[in-house]
Amino acid sequence: MRSPEDRKPLRIVLDSDLRLPLSAQLAATGGKDSDACHCGEGAAEERAARLREVQVEVVHVPRNKTGRVDLTEGIKTSPVSMV
């Protein structure tokens, strides 16, 4: 059984159009923590590739009716169990 000290939170950023700057703390600490950026389908693959280069997992998820990341779908496609 893991102790509370061993548990690290999963940081997920919802960014429909991948506007997250590479200078953001999430990108700067990529690979050190469990980080993911959920973006809407059709978001720029070039931006996704840059984030992956700094070890941020990029997950493309469906958009809702307003064009933003669909949170329900984002949870279903989370890189790790959220339970």
pLDDT of residue 83: 43
| Chain centroid to CA 16 | 10
The domain segmentation of the chain, as residue ranges, is: 10-76
Low-confidence ranges of the chain (pLDDT < 50): 1, 81-83
With beta carbons less than 8 A apart as the criterion, state whether 63 and 69 touch.
Answer: yes
pLDDT of residue 73: 82
Q: How far apart are CA 55 and CA 36, in angstroms?
A: 9
pLDDT of residue 15: 92
Rounded to two decimals, the pTM is 0.74
pLDDT of residue 7: 66
pLDDT of residue 67: 92
pLDDT of residue 79: 58
